[in-house]
Chains A and B, each alone.
Chain A
Amino acid sequence: DIQMTQSPASLSASLEEIVTITCQASQDIGNWLAWYQQKPGKSPQLLIYGATSLADGVPSRFSGSRSGTQYSLKISRLQVEDIGIYYCLQAYSAPWTFGGGTKLELK
């Protein structure tokens, strides 16, 4: 199975700050990676697909990048509505596996 190691597990940041979350894949998954945001009591919402493409309706302050088997989600200017838990997902091969999640809080 492909392991997705996500870091950090939790993150406290100030409004307008730049935030970066990473996922390390245990093997090559190409661009078969997505990022999701989950708010309390809600289902996950797609932010990024294909490692770097912004999903419809997602603010442009979110961006995804890839360097080898390391993937990053960047929030360029943190807003209040960005608070939640973020997950990466590899969709390269079954079993589909998620990162452990990053809980993003306001400082």
Chain B
Amino acid sequence: QVQLKESGPGLMQPSETLSLTCTVSGFSLTSNGVGWVRQPLGKGLVWMGTIWAGGSTNYNSAVQSRLSISRDTSKSQVFLKMNSLQPEDTGTYYCARHGSWGLFDYWGQGVMVTVSS
């Protein structure tokens, strides 16, 4: 049974660095890529970046300079780190598995992150 679960702090201050963890089960990180998708409150979905099965990464150019995605395959975990947080980074962060056709077939429940002083 494929599962993904995000974890991390709910409240951050501007200029801080966000660290989120996505713990997966039911598949191997060396078989499927995992991406991060952000959803500002009441708004649509935005792909942020992906770490592929081979370990390579792709980032959305809008956040590329601030974003890093890595993984620990032994722990089945994917990490998101984003620095220089601003209030507009507030939203729900999802991790999702890339399935066939490159799309997201399984999603985590999401973690709400608020950036506020």
Contact = CB atoms under 8 A, between A and B. Distances in A.
B11 interface: no
B58 A43 contact: no
B35 A55 contact: no
B102 interface: yes
B110 interface: yes
Nearest to A6: B44
Contacts of A32: 101-103
Interface residues on B, range: 20 to 34
Contact of A94 (B45, B58, B100, B109): B58
Interface stretch (A11-19, A62-70, A75-83, A97-105): A97-105
Given A49-B105, A55-B105, A98 B94 contact: no
A73 interface: no
Given A43-B108, A43-B109, A43-B110, A91 B103 contact: yes
Contact of B101 (A49, A94, A101): A49
A54 interface: no
B60 interface: yes
B104 interface: yes
B47 A96 contact: yes
B112 to A, nearest CB: 10
B9 to A, nearest CB: 19
A95 B49 CA distance: 8
Contact of A100 (B44, B94, B103, B109): B44
Given A45-B107, A89-B103, 20 more contacts: A32-B101, A32-B102, A34-B103, A43-B96, A44-B107, A46-B105, A49-B99, A49-B101, A87-B45, A91-B101, A91-B103, A94-B58, A95-B60, A96-B35, A96-B102, A96-B103, A97-B47, A98-B44, A98-B47, A100-B44
